[in-house]
Copies of this chain bind each other. A is one copy, B any other.
């Protein structure tokens, strides 16, 4: 059994006797963010429930999770319920719950997933990997992560749009198309062969666009995350434990929410996933 911290955090135990399609798990201290676990890890756990389900047909194609609240440190229930199985696709409803201080279970995550048996077809990419230096040529900055443990779980090498060095409220780039653009190489630390769950987690690797945009650390929280998987098992296996290039750009920031659109390529330039998220911000 893997002793990698990602696998430890992902660990789920079937609890089908208590409720069909239900698993139980426990938050892991290695993946702590500011007020709960790293959202990418939580999303990966929700997907892991699908991957672990005995009725699963095919591999993930589309996954959406919505964060109803931060998870508290402790046990949780993860439900992945197959509600419709077609010939080559399957639709899932996802839910995570935790007991509150009064012992009452509340929903902490909602979501949906679509898995599919993929067949070889005509293929193309209209979002080519940007021309960036090889990860070996990009220094890995040392991060003072403090209590934000999950940042130590990734080897991140920013190519463009790294986290502001000074939180001075200075204006971002004049060019709106680059003002909230980040490009970075990323892989698990220690390295770990890519799978759907770790790709799901890395889809949430980008620090909040609004921090880049404003050089101001306003309070934020992702509320909805969607990942489309363009890589199947073969492409993921071919990616091995190499770096992924992630690129994210904000689109609209208005009245408490902003979105970003993002892509993840492997080192060979294969677009493995596209992802979007909506993020709450204060002020």
Residue positions of A touching B, CB distance < 8 A: 61-62, 64, 66, 68-69, 83-84, 86, 89, 91-93, 95, 106-108, 110-112, 114, 116, 118-128, 176-177, 179-180, 209, 213-214, 223-224, 226, 228, 230-232, 249-257, 259, 261, 263, 271, 274, 276, 278, 280-283
Contacts and interface: CB of A to CB of B under 8 A. Distances in A.
A56 B104 CA distance: 22
A214 B84 CA distance: 31
Nearest to A106: B84
A270 to B, nearest CB: 9
Contacts of A91: 66, 68, 107, 110
Interface centre among A232, A249, A251 (most CB of B within 10 A): A251
A251 B226 CA distance: 15
B274 A119 contact: no
Contacts of A112: 64, 66, 110-112, 224
Contact of A124 (B107, B213, B224): B213
Contacts of A232: 254-255
A277 to B, nearest CB: 9
Nearest to A128: B176
Contact of A283 (B108, B122, B127, B281): B122
Contacts of A89: 223, 280
Contact of A230 (B64, B86, B252): B252
